[in-house]
Amino acid sequence: MDFVILDLEWNGTYSRRLKGFMNEIIEFGAVKVNEDLKILDTFSALVRPQVGKKLSGKIKSLTNLTNEELACGLQFMQVISRFNKWMGKAVLMTWGTADILALTENCKYFCGNERVPFLKKYVNLQSYCEDRLHYDVNKRMGLSTSAQLLGIDEQSFEHHRALDDSMLSLRCLQALYDKEAMKPFIQNADEKVFYDKILFKTVVVCDLSNPLIKRTDLMFNCEFCGRRAHRESDWVLKNKSYRASFLCRNCRTRFYGRVQFKLKFDGLVVKKTILPFKEMEAKETPTVIQTKEIRAVARDSAKPKEGVPAAKTAKLPKPVRAQERSIPKEKPVDPPKAKEVKVKPRYRYPPKKKAKTNSLHPRGN
């Protein structure tokens, strides 16, 4: 049984057809090994962008690729066809599931089907290495972190290039390889459940009334004596996690408990963290401490010095409170004055002149 370690590079671009952003693959890099992890062959290919014509500045600086180099590459479906023939019936490996998500996204966009043609059996190298190194379950181990823990020199590899990253993944696998330990991590990718699990989007639960949350998920034990602690304050939602203060009635220890709920494909994952009470208190109220220091300095400086009359001592202005300092007072705005409308006087016609009459002839001239 052969293994193929694949790594991809992609460019985030906007698609008019999808009316949103997508990760368009721009480079394939892979290495094929046998059961003893001896290198059999390598694969490298550049993909000509068809959705976004230009690379973003971030991708240019990370990969050192240029638009001129990608213009000479092959189309996505041509690279998929060549890679399928080159890979054969080997087991596909990637560092994490991000590359598989990018593959399904591009296959769905260019050929209308999210299934990857060469994906029959799959191994998540990241999960395998985390298990072998007994890494923290609540954290994700990057490729560079794994190489540092295993003492692998990274200077000979060019980061964020597909072939070099796949070779570095191989070095990590060689340091932790065990045939029997590898068998449980080989997944059957032909089943629909595999794609349902890969494409499932993790959701952070921010409602304590959710029926999936148990009462025991909100309980904390003291890290010193191990007894159950008593919650003193209400739960407060902050940065998608709930926090509350706890008191151990046995050893009188106070601490902050933080809990986060993530709904994944396999179920609800609960992450608990204990934070020191004093440290949290100092982080939350830095302005109050600073205000007290300012008041102390102003009070000491306001006292009259020896040999100097009190009238000549300079009076310092009163310290401003934290709320008044952070929120400046708004100046009162005068109401807008009403515009004076000039009314033009009506034109008055001159009065008609009376005809002169002769007193001798009352009927007129």
**pLDDT: which is higher, 296 or 7:** 7
Range 66-95 burial, b when 16+ CB lie within 10 A, else e: eeeebeebeebeebbeebeebbeebbbbbb
Over 70: is that where the pLDDT of 155 sits?
A: yes
Domain of residue 48: give its range: 3-199
The string of DSSP letters for 9-54 reads: EEEEEEETTTTEEEEEEEEEEEEEE-TT--EEEEEEEEB--SS-SS
Q: Is residue 231 part of a domain?
A: yes
What CATH number has the domain bearing residue 160? Answer: 3.30.420.10
Q: Is residue 361 part of a domain?
A: no
Last residue within a domain, chosen from 199, 222, 253: 199
240 — alpha (psi -120 to 50), left (phi > 0) or beta?
left
Please check whether residues 77 and 215 belong to one and the same domain. no
Over 50: is that where the pLDDT of 338 sits?
A: yes
64 — alpha (psi -120 to 50), left (phi > 0) or beta?
left
Please check whether residues 170 and 223 belong to one and the same domain. no
State the pLDDT at residue 138: 77
Last residue within a domain, chosen from 230, 262, 282: 282
121 — alpha (psi -120 to 50), left (phi > 0) or beta?
beta
Q: How far is CA 252 from the centre of its chain?
A: 38
Q: What is the number of structural domains in the chain? A: 2
Please check whether residues 32 and 142 belong to one and the same domain. yes
**Average confidence (pLDDT) over 216-245:** 95
Q: Is residue 43 part of a domain?
A: yes
Last residue within a domain, chosen from 282, 301, 333: 282
Side chain identity, residue 206: C
Please check whether residues 233 and 115 belong to one and the same domain. no
Please check whether residues 158 and 257 belong to one and the same domain. no
Q: Is residue 318 part of a domain?
A: no
Distances (CA, A) of 204 to 101, 194, 209, 219: 20, 22, 14, 19
State the pLDDT at residue 337: 60
State the pLDDT at residue 331: 55
pLDDT, tens digit, for every residue of 58-90? 999 999 999 999 999 999 999 999 999 999 999
State the pLDDT at residue 357: 52
The string of DSSP letters for 191-206 reads: SHHHHHHHSPPPEEE-
The lowest-confidence range among 183-187, 259-263, 294-298 is: 294-298
pTM score: 0.70
Q: Is residue 298 part of a domain?
A: no
Q: Is residue 234 part of a domain?
A: yes
Q: Is residue 311 part of a domain?
A: no
Please check whether residues 54 and 80 belong to one and the same domain. yes
